[in-house]
Structure 1
Amino acid sequence: MLSSRRSRRLCALIAALAALVMVAAGCGGRGSQTGQEAKSINIGYIAWDEDIAVTYLYKELLERKGYTVNTTELEVGPIYAGLAQGNPDLFLDGWLPQTHADYWKQYGPKLEDLGVWYDQGTLNIAVPKYMTDVNSIEDLKGKGPQFGGVITGIDPGAGLTRTTKAMIPAYGLGGEYQLQTSSTTAMLASLDKAVQEQKPIVVTLWHPHWAYARYPLKDLTDPKGAMGKAEELHAIGRANFSKDFPEVTEMVKKFKLTDDQLSSLENEINSAPKGQEQAAAKKWADAHPDVINSFAGK
Structure 2
Amino acid sequence: MRGASSWRLPATSSLPTPVSSRLTLASWGWAIRRPPPMSGPTMRDRPRGRVRRWSAAWVVLALVLGGCAPPEDEAITIGVLPWAEVRATAELWAFLLQAEGFEAELRQIDTTSPGGIVRTGEVTVVAGLYAQLADGEIDLWTGAWLPQTHAPQLVEHGRDVEVLGTWYEGARLTWAVPASSDLTSIADLAGRGEELGGEIVGVEPGSGHVRISRDEVLPAYGLEDEYTLSTGSTGAMLAALDRAVALDRPLVVTLWEPHPAYGRYDLRNLEDPLGALGEEERIEVVVRDGFVADHPEIATWLAAFELEEAELASLQVALEDAAPGEERGAVADWVAEHRGLVDGWLGR
Instruction: Note whether the superposition's TM-score is higher than 0.5.
Output: yes
1:54: which partner in 2? 89
The partner residue of 1:262 within 285, 288, 312 is 312
Partner of 2:78: 44
In structure 2, the partner of 1:186 is 236
Asked if 2 retains the 8 angstrom alpha-carbon contact of 1:126 and 1:219, the reply is yes
Question: Structure 1 pair 242/156, CA: closer, same or farther in 2 (3 Å)?
Answer: closer
- Structure 2, unpaired ranges of 5+: 1-62, 111-125
| Map of 1:138 onto structure 2 | 187
Q: Specify the code of the residue in structure 1 equivalent to 2:202.
A: G
Once residues 292 and 88 of structure 1 are traced to their aligned partners in structure 2, the CA distance between those partners, rounded to angstroms, is 24
Kindly indicate whether the alpha-carbon contact (under 8 Å) linking 1:112 and 1:239 is maintained by their aligned counterparts in 2. Answer: yes
Q: Hey, what's the Cα distance between the residues in 2 that align with 1:82 and 1:189?
A: 29
Q: What secondary structure is seen at the aligned counterpart in 2 of 1:257?
A: coil
Change over 3 Å in CA distance of 1:216–1:297 after alignment to 2? farther
| Aligned mates of 1:244, 1:165 — CA distance in 2 | 40
Shift of 1:205: 1.5
Question: For residue 99 of structure 2, what is the aligned residue in structure 1?
Answer: 64
**What do the CA deviations read for 1:221-278 (whole angstroms, capped 9, x no partner)?**
2110122334432212334433443432232122122344434433432454444333
| Aligned positions, number | 267
Determine helix, strand or coil for the equivalent of 1:253: helix
Which of these residues, 172, 179, 193, is aligned with residue 122 of structure 1? Answer: 172
Helix, strand or coil at the partner of 2:246: helix
1:271 and 1:59 mapped to 2: Cα distance? Answer: 19
| Structure 2 counterparts to residues 52-201 of structure 1, below 5 A | 52-75=87-110, 76=126, 79-81=129-131, 83-84=133-134, 88-131=138-181, 133-141=182-190, 147=196, 150-155=199-204, 158-166=207-215, 167-173=217-223, 178-179=227-228, 181-184=230-233, 185-201=235-251
- Which string of whole-angstrom CA distances, capped at 9 and with x for unpartnered residues, describes residues 149-199 of structure 1? 543334565543443345234334567x53362533332222112222444
SS for the counterpart of 1:72 is: strand
Higher deviation after alignment, 92-101 or 107-116: 92-101
Structure 2 counterpart SS, 1:126: strand
Q: TM-score, normalised by structure 2?
A: 0.62
5 Å-filtered alignment, 1:207-222, equals 207-222=257-272
Moved more, 119-128 or 216-225: 119-128
Percent identical: 37
* TM-score of the aligned structures, taking structure 1 as reference length: 0.71
Structure showing the higher helix proportion among its residues? 1
Larger displacement relative to structure 2 (154-163 or 52-61)? 154-163
* Alignment partner of 2:278 out of 228, 242, 247: 228
User: How far apart are residue 125 of structure 1 and its match?
Assistant: 0.7
Specify whether residues 194 and 260 from structure 1 end up closer, same or farther in structure 2 by C-alpha distance, changes over 3 A only: farther
Higher Rg of the two aligned structures: 1
Q: Using the TM superposition, give the Cα deviation of residue 56 of structure 1 relative to its aligned residue in structure 2, in angstroms.
A: 0.9
* Rounded Cα–Cα distance in structure 1 between residues aligned with 2:157 and 2:208: 22
The letter for the 1-side match of 2:161 is L
Question: Aligned in 2, Cα 1:241/1:200: closer, same or farther, shift over 3 Å?
Answer: same
251-260 or 143-152: bigger deviation: 143-152
> What root-mean-square deviation, in Å, do the aligned CA atoms of Structure 1 and Structure 2 show?
3.6
